[in-house]
Amino acid sequence: MANNFHYLNKLTQNLRSISTSSTKRDAWLSKIFVRKIEPTKESHSRMLSDKEVIYGLQTHNFRADSKKPYLQNIKNNLDLIKSQGSLNGVELVGSWTVNVGDQDQALHLWRFNGGYETIDAYNQVVAENEDFQKLIEEQGKLVRSRHLQYLLAFSYWPQILIRNRKNIYEIRSYALKPGTMIEWGNNWARAINFRKNNDEPFAGFFSQIGRLYNVHHIWCYEDLNARKDTRESAWRSPGWDECVAYTVPLIREMHCRIMIPTEFSPTK
């Protein structure tokens, strides 16, 4: 009987020890892996953007032997848009080819003033216009793949300013964990203040249609050495490291590309 009592007492102590250890472990893990997202009745787009303007980001992978005719095709498309009086709400903001990163790739950033109403009108004109259809058919023979995203600009990002002097651009693209967009925005609303040297911020967007929970930050530099200097300067600013520490856990995937403006790009 005494032996049985001793055994039960020992078993109870072990179970309590396991339970306590498990509770401590779960609490420790929760601090690392679980991020509390506050419920909200507002959509992410309304909380993070205050602009009634939609941006379209085209990503084209052109054939290695077709760069010149491909760029001419894009220019012809731009000229045709400009010639259509009904499409004055559609404008090209920037056009680039990738220099470092995904090779044989071009990105084109369009602005649709008037939002989705302008996009619907644009799509209808393109669908009914034979000249647009010919350009689309021609483009299909020059590219390997195409992707289009509709984006909103972050409200805390500086207004897009067209550059007139020669620059290089860096687009840093992030795939975030679902449910973390507001947390990302809250942190970057502070972090952007550390990255305003030499007017380096060009544009900051989050996706609405296309690949979701995507963020794109576009930076402008005089050259690669200027990029190095400005990024090192940010790391010397108190608070920047804290922003990085808070936002890195929100990311599933990220990559950057260095881009060169095309001859017809409005921003240089």
pLDDT per residue over 70-103, tens digit each?
Answer: 999 999 999 999 999 889 999 999 999 999 999 9
Determine the pLDDT at residue 193.
82
Determine the pLDDT at residue 268.
96
Determine the pLDDT at residue 230.
85
Q: What is the CA radius of gyration of the chain?
A: 25
pLDDT per residue over 129-180, tens digit each?
Answer: 999 999 999 999 999 999 999 999 999 898 999 999 999 999 999 999 999 9
Q: What is the mean pLDDT of the chain?
A: 85
Alpha-carbon distance of 192 to 218, in angstroms, equals: 12
CA distances in angstroms from 239 to 129, 156, 190, 219, 248, listed in the order given: 53, 17, 9, 20, 15
Instruction: Assign a CATH topology to domain 49-261.
Output: Alpha-Beta Plaits (3.30.70)
Amino acid occupying residue 179: G
The residue extents of the domains of the chain are: 49-261
pLDDT band at 50 (very low <50, low <70, confident <90, very high): low
Nearest to 142 by CA among 207, 237, 73: 73
Determine the pLDDT at residue 21.
43
Determine the pLDDT at residue 49.
66
pLDDT per residue over 113-123, tens digit each?
Answer: 999 999 999 99
Are 219 and 200 spatial neighbours (Cβ–Cβ below 8 Å)? yes
pLDDT of 12 above 70 = no
Determine the pLDDT at residue 238.
80
Q: Which two tokens stand for residue 57?
A: 């980001």
The model's pTM: 0.81
Determine the pLDDT at residue 11.
44
Alpha-carbon distance of 232 to 239, in angstroms, equals: 14
pLDDT of 22 above 60 = no
Determine the pLDDT at residue 29.
31
pLDDT of 10 above 80 = no
- Residues near 49 by beta carbon (within 8 Å), at least 6 away in sequence: 152, 153, 154, 155, 206
Determine the pLDDT at residue 235.
83
What three-state secondary structure class fits 98? Answer: strand
Q: Residue written as tokens 């001793």? A: 6
pLDDT band at 233 (very low <50, low <70, confident <90, very high): confident
pLDDT of 258 above 80 = yes
pLDDT of 196 above 90 = no
